[in-house]
Amino acid sequence: MSYFLLDEFENIEPYNPGEQPDDREYLKLNANESSFPPSPKVLEAIDKAHINGMSHYSDPYCWKLRKAIGDHFGVSAEEVFVGNGADEVLSFCLMSFFRPGMKICFPDITYDFYRIYAKAYRLDYEQIPLRDDFTLDIEPYIESDRDVIIANPNNPTGLAIPVSEIERLVASNKNRMVIIDEAYVDFGNESVLPLVKKYSNLVVVYTFSKSRNMPGARIGFAISSKAIIEDMNKIKFAFNPFNLSSLTIEGGCAAVNDEVYFEYCVNSVIKEREEFEKKLSEIGYEVIPTTTNFVFFKAFRTPAGELTAKLKKKGILVRHYDDERVCDYIRMTVGTHDEMERVLVALLEIE
């Protein structure tokens, strides 16, 4: 007997999240998370909210969080969509804008979820190779008539393209939908957000999982024109109206309002990243210069797969890819100073 769902969704391919061990013994640097806790104000807000929050359904419009995000970014709540992580936001983007067979494109190599969602929604997708040095050439996207998803900066390479390049793409065909995933934008990059007012075919996606230290809370959001956000909310109401819990809504508001803590965490990560990149280069690793909360570097003596396994034996989890273009590389989250010192000691012992 075959299950209807499995037949129907033969295109479905589960995302590989990397190792997510329960065992907190590991120094977990394999998923671009955060070594900082959320703002203390988040914990206070969740604590206050939990009694009423748990005994009633959450606000399906998530107005309070949309307003807090809107006020912070200088847009109205009607221009903000919130989801259970950027992953769900991306999923609702694809569900809202595309029908099976529609054409989209995104880089090869990039965040694997774009391909997995595109397959699941049966889109006709094309992956446009990065250049050999992992930089992104915008021309093939401009020349294509396809809708586009680009992570800027990209994951796992950590490289970003200038906003002016993205504007050329968005302006080149105003009938084309352009989704820019700015999950890592806060660690030293320019955002395309100001372009949202100018172009109604642009959607910018963000997450609280990186610069706001809350991957476990699952909060992501998109900013776009009111019409696009309204469409996304219609789709959300058809599939999962109460997609954010009351606790997450309150915690999210507190996080977005605590600018001082946000600046402190982001600046600490940037400082540590710069120091760590320098030390990796001194050991002899070729490091791709990045503006994210992770580093991407080429193994040179011990092959990357072996290095990953050896680091794991020393209690450190990092990400290694099977894809032949990046199989010599390691992606590693930037943690605290002490954590990165521990990594350097481990690398020197292994090499």
Residues in touch with ligand PMP (CB under 6 A): 32, 85-87, 111, 151, 155, 181, 183, 207, 209, 215, 220
| Residue with Cβ nearer ligand PMP (157 or 173) | 157
Would you say 86 or 295 has its CB closer to ligand PMP?
86
> Residue 82 and residue 217: Cα distance in Å, rounded?
13
Pairing status of strand 147-151 against strand 103-108: parallel
Q: Smallest distance, Å, CB 270 to ligand PMP? A: 18
Q: How far is the CB of 292 from ligand PMP (least distance, A)?
A: 9
Return the number of the residue (211 or 308) whose C-beta is nearest ligand PMP: 211
Q: At its nearest, how many Å lie between ligand PMP and the CB of residue 319? A: 10
Cβ closest to ligand PMP, residue 87 vs residue 339: 87
Reported for 93-98, long-range contacts at CB under 8 A and 24+ positions apart, including other chains, are 93/179, 93/203, 93/205, 93/222, 93/232, 94/118, 94/121, 94/123, 95/121, 95/235, 95/239, 96/228, 96/231, 96/232, 96/234, 96/235, 97/147, 97/177, 97/231, 98/123, 98/147
Cβ 94 to ligand PMP shortest distance, Å: 13
Q: Two tokens at 130?
A: 């990065």
Task: Considering the complex, state which of residue 86 and residue 287 has its C-beta at the smaller distance from ligand PMP.
Answer: 86
Q: How many residues does the chain have?
A: 351
Residue 147 φ/ψ, nearest 5 degrees: -70, 160
Residue 55 CB, nearest approach to ligand PMP (Å): 27
Q: What 3-state class would DSSP assign to 38?
A: coil
State the residue number with the nearest CB to ligand PMP: 85
